[in-house]
Chains A and B, each alone.
Chain A
């Protein structure tokens, strides 16, 4: 079943933050794969959406990056900052309320 991708649009940032909260440290490609795996292929985060969000979050001090040499080349990992962890919990609470409301509307 194909799901309209635009439905995820406003929630991408929350999804990325939740994944980082769970996995602690992730790199770009890993985030796209994890999202795909957890949603059984329904959610494919495009690179064009992912990297601008990651860089924006980094600029806002919500996440921080560190580079590690893997197989002779640099890999950029992202992790939540202290401020980011706090922010993520708030976003997650908001998200749960949002999902609860959607459930109430669509399951009546």
Chain B
């Protein structure tokens, strides 16, 4: 009953609301059925579409999620699923941090530097994978927001990242820095807390990325034959 041009109009409307593709698929179908019902009752497409826009207004209204605006319906999904992911990520990150710190006692300084470098490479690698994969599902959108927004743009965390990367780059010269620090207990303790914080944040981020990447890939497999009309 609804022609391709009208379908495109509906899809443009959903995209303009910033809805991720995993939710677009079924909401698009849902709206079409609702519009068809209105048309059966005598409305024109335009009238029916206007009524549907009003009925969906609240669910598609954009709200703040962390630092970004997303439709309420998607924010609800992120909140309900995000909690589980956060718990899993947090557990993995604790294990990773414990592992990294336990390595200090086992390996030589050179090996630890190498492990830390691979650790950073892994984070950068997964981020790039997600950015170039062009999968526009809730998790990848959220992921990008966390990657670009929370980690790199957040002033406090980015300072930590800069410190961490410069420490890794200049780790050969760290002995002389430690000589100064070791004479000041307060400074020593502060540096230790900052280092633990940096690695906990990075480990948390790495786990978060991995879980989300896995979920997005799974979602992508489900919807790979998705036949949305193109703009």
Contacts and interface: CB of A to CB of B under 8 A. Distances in A.
Contacts of A53: 80
Interface in A28-78: 28-29, 46-49, 51-53, 55-56, 59-60, 65-67, 69, 72-76
**Interface residues of chain B: helix, strand, loop or mixed (majority):** helix
Given A28-B29, A47-B27, A74 B80 contact: no
Interface stretch (B105-113, B117-125, B194-202, B220-228): B220-228
Contact of B73 (A48, A66, A67, A74): A48
Nearest to A55: B77
A77 B93 CA distance: 35
Given A28-B30, A73-B32, A47 B56 contact: yes
Nearest to A48: B59
B72 interface: yes
Contacts of B23: 51, 55
A22 B25 CA distance: 25
A27 interface: yes
Given A47-B56, A73-B227, A52 B34 contact: no
Contact of B29 (A56, A65, A76): A76
B30 A67 contact: no
A48 B63 CA distance: 13
A51 B227 contact: no
A76 B28 CA distance: 11
Contacts of A56: 77, 80-81
Contacts of A46: 59
A55 B81 contact: yes
Interface string B196-212: 00000000000000000
A75 B58 CA distance: 23
Contacts of A27: 26, 29
Contacts, number: 72
Nearest to B79: A52
B84 A29 contact: no
Q: How large is the interface on A (under 10, 10 to 19, 20 to 34, 35 or more residues)?
A: 20 to 34
A10 B116 CA distance: 46
Contact of B76 (A48, A60, A69, A76): A48
Task: Find the residue from A46, A56, A60, A73 having the highest chain B CB count within 10 A.
Answer: A73
Given A56-B80, A59-B81, A47 B226 contact: no
B33 interface: yes
B227 A76 contact: no
A54 to B, nearest CB: 8
A51 B77 contact: yes
A73 B33 CA distance: 11
B7 interface: yes
B30 A47 contact: yes
B11 to A, nearest CB: 10
Given A29-B34, A75-B29, 8 more contacts: A27-B29, A28-B29, A29-B30, A49-B76, A67-B25, A67-B223, A73-B28, A76-B25
14 contacts: A29-B33, A48-B72, A52-B77, A52-B80, A55-B22, A55-B77, A55-B81, A59-B84, A59-B215, A65-B222, A69-B227, A73-B28, A74-B225, A76-B25
